[in-house]
Structure 1
Amino acid sequence: MIESKMVESVAKQVNIQQDVRSFECVTTDSRKQAKHALFIPLVGDRFNGHHYLQAAIDSGATGSIWQEDEPIPTWLPADFQLYFVENSLVALQKLAQVYRDAVNPYVIGITGSNGKTTTKDIVFQLLGGEPYVHRTAGNLNNHIGLPLTLLSMPRDCKFAVVEMGMNHAGEISLLSKLARPDLGIVTNIGEAHIEHLGSREGIAKAKMEMLDGLKPNGALVMDGDEPLLESFQQQETISIGFGAAATETISDVKQTNEGYTFSFLGESFWHLPLLGKHNVKNAAYGMWIAQRLGVPDSLIKARLAQTAITGMRLERVEGPEGSIFINDAYNANPSSMKAAIETVKSMSGFHKRIAVLGDIYELGPDEEALHRSVAEAIDAPITDVICVGEKAFWIYDELKKQHGSVAIDYVEKVEDVAALIRPHLKHDTVVLLKASRRLALEQVLSAVKGGA
């Protein structure tokens, strides 16, 4: 619930005599049905939300932020409230800060090249979930999405677990200053967005902008196996990893086809029902935080065993004829693609291990070399590789040079993959689907299930 006094605090003036009112939610989408909503019309290069005020009113808005350089509609209802500002985006962000301070939850901010959403879901689960833990929905993790995430918090929220995404330097700094996290997590440093940041060193520096908004005496949890983060170590920094250099070490990691057991925080036999060794580290971030915040180990263990994450992230799905698909098609960069391949290689009980690998985007001028580097991870027990898309041809071409035992194929379009893998689908076959989001590689699974 957003009170009018909060909105007034970010406005220069109000269009009518202010009455006492509140808004049940904030929306930037005039099409979204939202009763008693505050509409915030954003302006971009190709759109102007002010033009859709009538639609917003029809959808339930009872007030709106309004840029002072925009004409006021002559048909405006007499009881409809306008709050005048210089810039509606800045007003959205400032309002989020005001509301964040009013609710005053313990904020956990998460960034990193891979694993943000999985770590968010794990932290959410370990802290007890709804109704007292609020988390980023979908991909609302940028300069618009994060303020909307904060503004959607329930007033009795105790914890807010928020993702912070980025494409360019300076963006995490802004998001951190908006959320003012009590605790930050940097999951890892990969190659995502290297096109804009130039190098992994540049990515590391951009991710560590999390420190810019971290509360005084706040703590930062980060990847203890990443040398690029060593220079950022400070008193309130905790590093978690598999190597001896980490502050908190994960050990005795054992994989099953359903997940992992491991030792951490002085206790053995933690069970995580997720694939991917990197998810053990993501879970460890959440476990350390939960323990720091007073959750008993017995409860952490019980909640960890029930962990569920957002789909298409090493998601195990049953396919035709008893086959298994590992649907990791939400997004990709070279390091996460290699990690997914290693996960499939380490799964037991499969005669056929098929990797369907697609284009990776936003890799910049080194995109060919980075695609070709994926071939380093491909050998037995992988039996078959199908590369799909224009950029994935580089993976295929590099594999051809190796003259290995792995059968390789190349297709240009996703819709051509199903016909290649369908004859191999049996009870002892596992298929990995991995590519950047734009390729929508999960369509392969729906195609083979539908018999297309």
Structure 2
Amino acid sequence: MLNPLILNVPTIAITGSSGKTTTREILASILEEKWKVLRNTGNKNLPNNTKQIAESCESSVDAIVLELGMGKPGAGEKHCSHLQPNISIITNIGTAHYGNLGNSIESTAKNKSALIKYMKQDGLLVLNGDDENSKLLDWSSFNGRIIRIGTKQDLDYCATNIHYVNDGMEFNVKIDDVTETFFLPSFGFHNIHNALLAIAVAHGVGFSATEIRSGLAKYVVPIKRLNVYELCNESLLIDDTVNANPQSVNSALDVQEELGEGKKRIVVLGSMLELGDHAEEGHKEVGAYAAQKGVDAILTYGRAAQHIVQGAMNAGLDTEKVMHFKNRDDMHRELKRRITNQSIILVKGSSAMNMNKTVKFIKDRYFYSMKIDSTINEETIEISSETFEYLEIEKDQIILHFGQLKKPLKVVLNDQLKLGEMLVPEKLSKHITIPSLPYEYYWEDNSLHVGPVIGMIVYTRYIDDPKQQLVRFTNYHKIKGLVYFFFPDTISKKNQTISGYYYDPKTSSFKWGTFPFPNSMFNRIPLRASRYQYLQEIIGDTIFNYPYGNTDKLDFWKLMYMQPVIKQHLPRTKEYRDVNSVLKSLQKCDAVYLKPASMAGGAGIFHVKRMNEGYIWTDIDGNSTNITSKEQFIEILNNQLIKKKTYIVQEEIPTFNKDRNKIDFRLYIQKDYTMQWRFSGIETKVGHKDSIIANSKKRQDIIPGDQALQEFYGLSQDQSLKKIEDMTDVCIRILRIMEKKGHKLGDACFDLVVDKDGKFWVLEPQLNYAAEIKQFREEGERRVLPDILPTPFEYAKALARF
């Protein structure tokens, strides 16, 4: 039995599927022009919050404005048991909390109708006349006045001439037979309805058009509700992360379209929760609507949000424009890659999806602008008072992170700087200055991170002739920051610095300098274990391609032969012990290779083929010997095999074409900005006629891998692409097993062969494959370089958390 507090002042309750908080704040802003208003704040809209409001009400209060959350059956009655409204607003009836309210619009309307049933029965009820679903509300027992608002001429309060202006919306409403112009400092046609609801109530309780206009103009948009932020790269961020349902997402997409003319429109959507049976369809509807709006990218996060992707693709949006993520960090890396100058990014999702973390990620990286200044005190950072307040810095000191260097800087307020502008000292220590380069930066707690700072360990020949590394920097615009290469002898343990060459994009050249230890490191030499451990202690687990060197073919085969999927793509292999190892292998196949287990480049390789009488022994120079006896075989093995080297005996997979040219494939697999392995390229090495290998010295040609599969194996274009995909999948499996065994990897390639039936066979992985030196070889060798040489820096940047 209800026993509510009943007051003589306007007691206004607001419910609905969306727009409740906005309507509450707009109405309160108007009423506070001349009244003392008691209201709930934030998202405190549960029955217990209504009880607290009732208990705290004082006689000096002129009006009460309450937002009533009614996401569960019975909530309306509970609210009204504490405080009886005499004025009620129902914003709309939609699919929010659909799953909690009976999985139908009808049941949702029935639950919202509880407010009408339990309010003062001769009071004032304000409804949205544009919302067809509001007709399902039950006001049959209500004896008071009903007012309808909207954009139709026959409604009590009708908005006309609605249009976007700077910082909000402008519209006309006829009040007391006079057409009045109003401004709302918020965006979106849906917010016109919220404003109309507030106008209707304010006018109904005696406020003039002038008072209403003044109150509307003073309205402050609640946080996470279509808050628009200007970013440093001429972009805009729309934060609408308070909650989400299909109607509110579509409204936000409308706003993005209006504000985003001429900009790249990126939409980041988390799952919409509590939609019940409408969950899949509701998400697909949003995806379809976004596609119809012609957005440039949709990134989704959360299990249910994958249906947004499906809905967008079903509506014809290009698959490259939609991506779904299970991991927020993965989504943020992709988002960062897609944000360009003059983008407009909309972020929205149910509150439980914490999409505000994505808003923070964007603001921490794009809201601020940094300038390196050689004139300011090297112990300070200069920002404006407004920026200081915005950052919520607790002390007057921040920590600047540049690589592994951490520099405390005293905050100096400089109000000549704009909001977000920062001046950072060029000189950080006796040995280190920040080179004048394009950097990225982000805030984290009380720290400013500037970078990335990436190191690459190279052979001394690149220190002697640094321009050989230029081809690695063709995509520097994707990396930015300080990227330097060095040889370990230039490490100063005393000063905690490294000297080497860094890339200067202004001159497309390298300059010598001294730098802090980097955020991440790409290794390209056989690094001593003690040196690796030292670097790891300082840098952490962000050094990749260690250990670096030739793969031990025997160890590789032993490990991978235990993996069922991989095993079927490995040639039969065994350790060479004596002549019997070879003879037994030749009983099962026509020919074998004898290969040193830990050498590369074709060194020490021999080929043995079984004939009707005896065998043919061939070295890499093409010299052949007929073997007619076991004794002769033993003598050749003793004389030809490299002493003190472990050898393997490996079945030959015939790959010769009709002209007797050996065909080998090299598949490049690398980690990029996603921190995942991906295919980077494939090339095919065509050996000289009758050569037993197809390396650079014994090569007739090198052609794209898909071309070779079509030309030599008769595959169609689609079949060749599928074959390459299958090769990539198996090789990635191999790399993941190597990583589980302790390898730190990010850049690799594989040598493979394909037999006459089209089956591929993996020979070995290569970490120290020919890379930069390929630029000095023939055109076919150089073809793959733009795809493989810059990519490790993308991975290094991701490891550096930039």
Same-fold status (TM-score > 0.5): yes
User: 3-state DSSP class of the match of 1:188?
Assistant: coil
In structure 2, what is the equivalent of residue 243 of structure 1? Answer: 152
In structure 2, what is the equivalent of residue 225 of structure 1? Answer: 130
User: 3-state DSSP class of the match of 1:362?
Assistant: coil
Structure 2 residue 88 is the aligned partner of structure 1 residue 184:
yes
Structure 2 residue 207 is the aligned partner of structure 1 residue 303:
no
In structure 1, what is the equivalent of residue 301 of structure 2? Answer: 388
Counterpart Cα distance in 1 of 2:293 and 2:135: 34
Structure 2 residue 326 is the aligned partner of structure 1 residue 421:
no
In structure 2, what is the equivalent of residue 401 of structure 1? Answer: 314
Q: Is the 8 A contact 1:321 1:425 kept in 2?
A: no
Structure 2 residue 49 is the aligned partner of structure 1 residue 152:
no
In structure 2, what is the equivalent of residue 51 of structure 1? Answer: none
| Amino acid in the other structure paired with 2:173 | F
Quote the offset at 1:227 in angstroms: 2.3
- Pairs within 5 Å for 1:46-195: 97-98=4-5, 101=7, 104-128=8-32, 132-195=36-99
Quote the offset at 1:214 in angstroms: 1.9
Counterpart Cα distance in 2 of 1:304 and 1:131: 15
In structure 2, what is the equivalent of residue 271 of structure 1? Answer: 183
Q: 1:444 aligns with which of 358, 362, 387?
A: 358
Counterpart Cα distance in 2 of 1:375 and 1:257: 29
Runs (4+) of structure 1 moved beyond 6 Å?
Answer: none
Counterpart Cα distance in 2 of 1:157 and 1:237: 25
User: 3-state DSSP class of the match of 1:270?
Assistant: strand
Deviation per CA, 1:67-99: give whole Å up to 9, x if none.
xxxxxxxxxxxxxxxxxxxxxxx9xx96xx45x
User: 3-state DSSP class of the match of 1:369?
Assistant: helix
| Amino acid in the other structure paired with 2:98 | I
In structure 1, what is the equivalent of residue 168 of structure 2? Answer: 259
Deviation per CA, 1:240-276: give whole Å up to 9, x if none.
1123453322221112352211111342431111012
Counterpart Cα distance in 2 of 1:415 and 1:320: 22
Bigger radius of gyration: 2
Counterpart Cα distance in 2 of 1:216 and 1:393: 45
| Amino acid in the other structure paired with 1:291 | H
Q: Is the 8 A contact 2:287 2:307 kept in 1?
A: no
Structure 1 residues 321, 168: CA separation in 2 closer, same or farther (over 3 Å shift)?
same
| Amino acid in the other structure paired with 1:352 | K
Structure 1 residues without counterparts, runs of 5 or longer: 1-89
Structure 1 residues 346, 195: CA separation in 2 closer, same or farther (over 3 Å shift)?
same
Structure 2 residue 372 is the aligned partner of structure 1 residue 372:
no
Q: 1:339 aligns with which of 240, 248, 251?
A: 251
Quote the offset at 1:129 in angstroms: 6.2
Structure 1 residues 303, 129: CA separation in 2 closer, same or farther (over 3 Å shift)?
closer
Counterpart Cα distance in 2 of 1:195 and 1:306: 37
| Amino acid in the other structure paired with 1:236 | R
Quote the offset at 1:128 in angstroms: 1.2
User: 3-state DSSP class of the match of 1:322?
Assistant: coil
Structure 1 residues 359, 202: CA separation in 2 closer, same or farther (over 3 Å shift)?
same
In structure 1, what is the equivalent of residue 349 of structure 2? Answer: 435
Counterpart Cα distance in 2 of 1:311 and 1:109: 21
Greater Cα offset, 176-185 or 434-443: 176-185
Structure 2 residues without counterparts, runs of 5 or longer: 365-441, 443-801
Identity %: 26
> How many residues are treated as equivalent by the alignment?
356
Quote the offset at 1:144 in angstroms: 1.0
Counterpart Cα distance in 2 of 1:145 and 1:300: 28
User: 3-state DSSP class of the match of 2:47?
Assistant: coil
Structure 1 residues 403, 135: CA separation in 2 closer, same or farther (over 3 Å shift)?
same
CA-atom RMSD in angstroms:
2.3
| Amino acid in the other structure paired with 2:156 | T
- Pairs within 5 Å for 1:284-299: 284-299=196-211
Counterpart Cα distance in 2 of 1:411 and 1:396: 10
Counterpart Cα distance in 2 of 1:373 and 1:348: 22
Quote the offset at 1:301 in angstroms: 1.0
| Amino acid in the other structure paired with 1:370 | G
Greater Cα offset, 369-378 or 324-333: 369-378
| Amino acid in the other structure paired with 1:239 | R
TM-score normalised to structure 1 length: 0.73
Q: Is the 8 A contact 2:288 2:311 kept in 1?
A: no
Structure 1 residues 449, 168: CA separation in 2 closer, same or farther (over 3 Å shift)?
closer
TM-score normalised to structure 2 length: 0.42
User: 3-state DSSP class of the match of 1:251?
Assistant: strand
Quote the offset at 1:279 in angstroms: 0.8
In structure 2, what is the equivalent of residue 6 of structure 1? Answer: none
Counterpart Cα distance in 2 of 1:305 and 1:115: 18
User: 3-state DSSP class of the match of 1:264?
Assistant: strand
Counterpart Cα distance in 2 of 1:449 and 1:298: 37
Q: Is the 8 A contact 2:185 2:217 kept in 1?
A: yes
User: 3-state DSSP class of the match of 1:265?
Assistant: strand
Q: Which structure has more RCO (C-alpha within 8 Å, separation ≥ 6)?
A: 1
